[in-house]
A and B are shown apart, each in its own frame.
Chain A
């Protein structure tokens, strides 16, 4: 579904991603882990087109994504739940969800999707009229995920959904993500600092360090890898 080949990204001539290759198959749950500054958010922004690629390829469903303007990409069925939530603060909760459904893929089944999202995160139904900027951090994260789902995407990209949340809230959100993945067979690409959890849920994973994939494999390979155990799992 998503195939990234030797992607390179540079900021002001300074390389940040060097030849990153990564694939997400249909219905797959793929995790990308790595230390701060490794280039995980940059990778997501290159997929969304917010930062330009300096080289390499990104294909989505076989077609060249780099040739598609950034604002057209969500319409293909790609939803990006960005790092730091980035909800629209002066729009209400409901309006944020409606913005999520702005992309063409979300337009057909809007009512139904809204119900599904409300069932997943009941707090978004209770607070539908509240300005998103006044929600708590955890509520904003739920809104950001709900907004991503509102377009009925085929690929959901989540950038550190647990950032800044209490462990219990983060666990809750993780459970929801797994629930969504299992019930809809949606493809998920997850960036996460909570490596143990991420590797628990994912089918496969990539370890990104200073802009390069230093390790990749399925869940069990990664969990048993000594470097991962030492560096991320504290074992």
Chain B
């Protein structure tokens, strides 16, 4: 290959990495909210994402015919509609199941509480994945939209030799993901609800002294967390085919991103997800395609070994 081809190849993967990374970043923010506020590691996060994908899929099918430019706009409307829907599912799952093993009562026996949470969220993950198999079937599906196969062509750059193809669907998805992260960060930073969630995360007992219903705060955080990740799933649903077991593929992406970004920081989680997207795509420069997820995992292990507080983590955040 010529130098120009190398550069083109690199730029192409860089673009793809940034675009998928932005959506991964959104998904990581969802996982990070749950950990940050509730100190719970939700192993079912990937399955809530899968729910988001199917919800977007059916929602798209239902509305595409009615929306103007349906093929173009409906996938994104469907992806955004996933948010409130899965938020509600999250509230119910928290109320019925998760709240039994978390919250102020659960923290009196710390170690015991953690085992219970681990087993419970693993159980939820299995039930959702297998339930998905029964309800949705095992055949992979995807949302097909004209945008996901249409690129914008950038260039020719660098004389005549470099042409960059930027997938339109992915670009809009990435922009929506970034906008959602910014909106959620603003909510957490500036609203009364956001402050209450952060206070409950910092010191749940003191939060009760302030008059915060901590169980309810945790429930809302859980709903936000799974809802946000599910919107990420909804955005990916028009990019690649999926089936009910898709969660496990992405749960690794999410964990790697959240650990990379430093546990508990929203900004870190987003940047972590973005980095994972880049690592995944750029690894194609020197690794065969099948090994892309291995690259993520190696990256994850390296971070855990070398910089456990995460690349973007602020080590002394908590006093």
Minimum distance in angstroms from B210 CB to a CB of chain A: 5
Contact (Cβ within 8 A) A89 B319: yes
A75 at the interface (CB under 8 A from B): yes
B206 at the interface (CB under 8 A from A): yes
Minimum distance in angstroms from A25 CB to a CB of chain B: 23
Q: How large is the interface on A (under 10, 10 to 19, 20 to 34, 35 or more residues)?
A: 20 to 34
A39 at the interface (CB under 8 A from B): no
Contact (Cβ within 8 A) A88 B205: no
B214 at the interface (CB under 8 A from A): yes
Collect the chain A residues with CB atoms within 8 Å of residue B207's CB: 88, 99
Collect the chain B residues with CB atoms within 8 Å of residue A151's CB: 210-211
Contact of B210 among A89, A100, A132 (CB under 8 A): A100
Collect the chain A residues with CB atoms within 8 Å of residue B211's CB: 71-75, 102-104, 151
Contact (Cβ within 8 A) B199 A91: yes
The prevalent SS among residues of B at the interface is helix
Collect the chain A residues with CB atoms within 8 Å of residue B319's CB: 89-90, 131-134
Central interface residue in A48, A70, A88, by most chain B CB within 10 Å = A88
Minimum distance in angstroms from B96 CB to a CB of chain A: 20
Which residues of A approach B to under 8 Å, CB–CB? 48-50, 69-75, 79-80, 82, 86-91, 95, 98-100, 102-104, 131-134, 147, 151
Contact (Cβ within 8 A) B206 A82: yes
Contact (Cβ within 8 A) B208 A50: yes
A46 to B308, CA, bound (A): 40
Query: A133-B318, A133-B319, A134-B319 known; A90 and B210 CB under 8 Å?
Result: no
* CB nearest to B205 among chain A residues: A50
Contact (Cβ within 8 A) B318 A88: no
Query: A74-B209, A134-B319 known; A99 and B195 CB under 8 Å?
Result: yes
Contact (Cβ within 8 A) A91 B210: no
- Interchain Cβ contacts under 8 Å between A and B, 9 examples: A49-B208, A72-B213, A86-B206, A91-B202, A99-B195, A99-B196, A102-B196, A133-B319, A134-B319
Collect the chain B residues with CB atoms within 8 Å of residue A71's CB: 208, 211-214
Query: A89-B318, A90-B317, A90-B318 known; A99 and B208 CB under 8 Å?
Result: no
Contact (Cβ within 8 A) A88 B208: no
Collect the chain B residues with CB atoms within 8 Å of residue A49's CB: 208
A133 to B213, CA, bound (A): 23
B94 at the interface (CB under 8 A from A): no
A84 to B195, CA, bound (A): 22
Collect the chain B residues with CB atoms within 8 Å of residue A134's CB: 319
Minimum distance in angstroms from A201 CB to a CB of chain B: 23
Collect the chain A residues with CB atoms within 8 Å of residue B149's CB: none
A20 to B103, CA, bound (A): 29
Query: A88-B202, A88-B203, A89-B202 known; A99 and B318 CB under 8 Å?
Result: no
